[in-house]
Amino acid sequence: MTLLFNISHQLLGKTRNQLLDNFDTIAEAPGGIAKLRALILDLAVRGKLVPQDPEDESVDKLLVRIQSQKKAIVRTGTVPKTGELLSGNDAHEPFLIPSSWIWTRLGNISSYIQRGKSPKYTESGEVLVISQKCIQWAGFDITKAQFIQDETVPSYSLERFLQPGDLLWNSTGTGTVGRLSILPAVLKNKRIVADSHVTVIRIVECLPSFIYCWLASPHIQQFIDQKTSGTTKQKELNTITVRTEFIPLPPLPEQKRIVEKVDELMALCDRLAAAKQTRDDLRQKLRGSAIAALMNAETDDALEKSWVIVRDNWQTLSQDPKDVDDLRKIILRLAIRGKLAQQEVNDEPAEKLLKVVADKQAAHPKKFRKPKDLSSIEDVEKPFELPFGWCWCRFTEIGQLERGKSKHRPRNEPALYANGSIPLVQTGDVARAKGVITTYTALYNEQGLAQSRLWSKGTLCITIAANIADSAMLGFDACFPDSVVGFVPTEPISDSRYFEFFIRTMKSTLEAFAPSTAQKNINLSILDEVLIPLPPLAEQKRIVAKVDELMQMCDQLEASLRQSQQRAEALAASAISHLTI
């Protein structure tokens, strides 16, 4: 036996060293500290965190002592007698444990396992009641406890009053099942009970903090997912399931060593988390300063310098690919404010462009819809000051803005689609597009087309129902229903891409107009009122080219950050797999 312990000691020493050697590698991966905490608990409950000692009192003696104490407690009348449970060896063991450990059942080492009682609450009283709100992974929070009515206190049997060291396990709720706390010793003089959402587990002889390690470990979290009953909205872990749950039990001295090591390593995780938070806060401040400099640049030279700083240092300013979306938004905001492309004194002013467009639209009055009773642009407060040569306008002044069509009811009539070849684009296709729509929901046939309208490739599509103000350009000729608005500019404006950039910057503003109903929507008149900053035609083309160039750089930044994350995740996964074998 001593030889086996020596071999085990050597193997454990290697595992512990590997864990410490890979701590930083795992911690730096996305979600790495949470993975570290789970790994620590996994190694702890499988006997791989601290060495076994042949001098420890055997776990068999511990079990005998537990049973003796449980009988003594029953004789006092403070808890009812429970039926004997099956042994821990009557089913397939979840995993191998050291030879000095034993599999048993949670009920075998507990004097009391019971769900709390539904209370009658009051604003003040003598007895506190613990609810699932008090039990958080971050720790036990007594401030969220309420009171029970004093007149109901006699209805609580003695065993229902909590004792320091009781394990409190959220056993029912939405997204809270499995959260766990230990009632702290500082509350020993308080009279406290649990409500019906909390299962109380009172351990005999063993360390509650070791049992906590098991119940908080990944093994039990998987068990909860398998064993909880109920709908996805409300899960429930019943008392019988808790009592009969298997637990790997080491000798008591080893339980103490495990808990000490877990506390030591969890404290290290806390320090790593605090250091990471400090770095993230600093990174966020630096990123905010860099973006502010970009947004507030007054000259082309200042803008170029600010952009170079952001571009060349983005991987220092951010480690999350999602943050690149903020950069994309900044680029578009700069674009529609005239801060992205250079203004040229020889460009024909936008006002002259508007006059040319107005003359062409006046020549075809039936083709262009005129909105009703729009207030004069001069009388409307302008969102920001425009660069020289720009002017404010509305969609109807520069092109055709119309809702799509799908007149037939029901819209899913099979006769509209049989042997179809004409793409039908829906709001989801627009929402999924990244600038250009490349998918369609269905194919109309000629009958379907007859009750709809075919829009040409390059049409700007704007959603006004379900998804509000998502926008993209049609990548092919297609139909769409009246939940999508189409915009086609009037010559000499031939490209809608600048206006698609503009709509992206307006998404949150337009969403605010949608009523808070199950099916959110806005109407065409809201789009009619939107003021558009119109650059000279030549500058529109320079803006589009510059946006394309910078968006490509954003794509490269995002890909680079994602690759870095994937490398970190792969390294962490490799380290964890070697430690958990």
| 454 backbone φψ class: left, alpha, beta (φ>0; ψ -120 to 50) | beta
β-pairing, 146-148 vs 121-122, is antiparallel
Confidence at residue 3, expressed as pLDDT on a 0 to 100 scale: 42
Closest Cα to residue 222, out of 356, 364, 61, 45? 45
Q: Which two tokens stand for residue 446?
A: 């000629």
Which residues does 509 contact at the CB level (< 8 Å), separation at least 6? none
With both helix axes pointing from N to C terminus, report the angle between 324-336 and 300-317 in degrees, rounded to the nearest 10: 170
Q: What's the confidence (pLDDT) of residue 77?
A: 57
Q: What's the pLDDT score for residue 5?
A: 45
* Largest separation between any pair of C-alpha atoms in the chain: 102
What's the pLDDT score for residue 89?
52
Q: Is 366 exposed, middle or buried (0-12, 13-18, 19+ CB in 10 A)?
A: exposed
Q: What is the pLDDT of residue 173?
A: 66
Burial letters 339-353, b for 16+ CB under 10 A, else e: bbbebeeebebbeeb
How many Cβ atoms are within 10 Å of 367's Cβ, its own excluded?
Answer: 10
Which domains are assigned to the chain? 1-41+260-327+536-581 (no CATH), 57-250 (3.90.220.20), 350-535 (3.90.220.20)
Q: What is the pLDDT along the chain (581 residues), one digit of tens a residue?
A: 444 444 444 445 556 666 767 777 777 778 888 888 998 999 999 999 999 999 999 999 999 999 999 888 877 655 555 545 445 455 567 889 999 999 999 999 999 999 998 889 888 889 999 988 999 887 888 989 999 999 999 999 999 999 999 999 988 766 678 889 999 999 888 999 999 899 999 999 999 999 999 999 988 877 776 666 555 556 677 888 888 888 999 999 999 999 999 999 999 999 999 998 999 899 889 988 988 888 887 777 887 788 888 878 887 888 888 888 988 998 999 999 998 888 899 999 999 999 999 999 998 888 888 777 777 888 888 888 999 999 999 999 999 999 999 999 999 999 999 999 999 999 999 999 989 999 999 999 999 999 999 999 999 999 998 889 999 999 999 999 999 999 999 999 999 999 999 999 999 888 887 765 556 778 898 999 999 999 999 999 999 999 999 999 889 988 988 888 888 788 777 777 766 65
* Residue 17 confidence (pLDDT): 67
Helices then strands, each counted (H, E), the chain:
17, 24
User: Residue 231 burial by CB count (10 A; 0-12/13-18/19+): exposed, middle or buried?
Assistant: exposed
| pTM for this model (two decimals) | 0.72
Q: What is the pLDDT of residue 12?
A: 52
d(CA 339, CA 332): 10
